[in-house]
Amino acid sequence: MLVAAGVAVAVVFALVGSGAGSTAGPTVAGSTAPTGLASAPPTSMPTGTPTTTPAPVATPNDPGVGGVTTPDLRTASATQTVSCPVPGEGPAGSTAESPDVQLVWSSEGAQTAFVGVDTQDAQAEPYSEVSTSGSISIPFACPAASHTYTITLVGAGGARSKTFTVQNTGHRG
């Protein structure tokens, strides 16, 4: 099919280049043209193994794959510090509970969202799948010095994450 198209182009080129009233026959690519007529260069066929180009991957702040933008994290905040209680202290009969970390976010262009603890990619290592805009309270695992909390948004153009580090200013065991 490709060769036939190349020959047709060469024939049209030869007819147009020869003038409307010419009595000379059509010139096929690669043949000798009568004097005063131009001929098209020989058409070559592609050879070898076709190669594929990997699909583009969206990164933050780019237009995304196929012009679709990655999700936008409009607002995001998290508790900055917690104070872990000393085990066994407090009124008689009470139990020391881990404090909660509060995450709040809003987004645009996200289809799904995840929250993760001590990960940079909450989609790959989720604590929970959450709404694309909302909030969640997660218990801080005492007596660690800190933990990271990540919100990962996923949309048509890829994924975008935001990570917060929460410090424990209380008991560290």
Could you tell me the pLDDT band of residue 37, with boundaries at 50, 70 and 90?
A: very low
Q: Do 80 and 145 fall within a single domain?
A: yes
- Dump pLDDT digits (tens) for 80-107: 999 999 887 756 555 568 899 999 999 9
**Average confidence (pLDDT) over 31-48:** 45
Could you tell me the pLDDT band of residue 38, with boundaries at 50, 70 and 90?
A: very low
Quick check: 28 pLDDT over 50?
no
Q: How many domains does the chain have?
A: 2
Full strand arrangement of the beta sheet holding 100-108: 72-78, 100-108, 134-139
34 compared with 73, residue with greater pLDDT: 73
Q: Do 100 and 141 fall within a single domain?
A: yes
Q: What is the structure's pLDDT at 73?
A: 94
Q: Do 89 and 116 fall within a single domain?
A: yes
Q: What is the pTM of this model?
A: 0.60
- Domain of 72? 65-168
User: Tokens 């409307």 appear where?
Assistant: 20
Q: What is the structure's pLDDT at 90?
A: 59
Q: What is the structure's pLDDT at 10?
A: 37
Q: Please state, in angstroms and rounded to a whole number, the distance separating the CA atoms of residues 103 and 101.
A: 7
Question: What CATH number did the domain enclosing 158 receive?
Answer: 2.60.40.10
Q: Do 69 and 42 fall within a single domain?
A: no
Q: What is the structure's pLDDT at 55?
A: 42
**The two three-digit tokens of residue 28, written as one number:** 């096929």
Q: Do 86 and 160 fall within a single domain?
A: yes
Residue 35 within any structural domain of the chain: yes
- Dump pLDDT digits (tens) for 126-145: 999 999 999 999 999 999 99
Quick check: 148 pLDDT over 70?
yes
Residue 97 within any structural domain of the chain: yes
Q: Do 2 and 82 fall within a single domain?
A: no
Residue ranges of E strands in 40-145: 72-78, 81-82, 100-108, 112-117, 128-130, 134-139
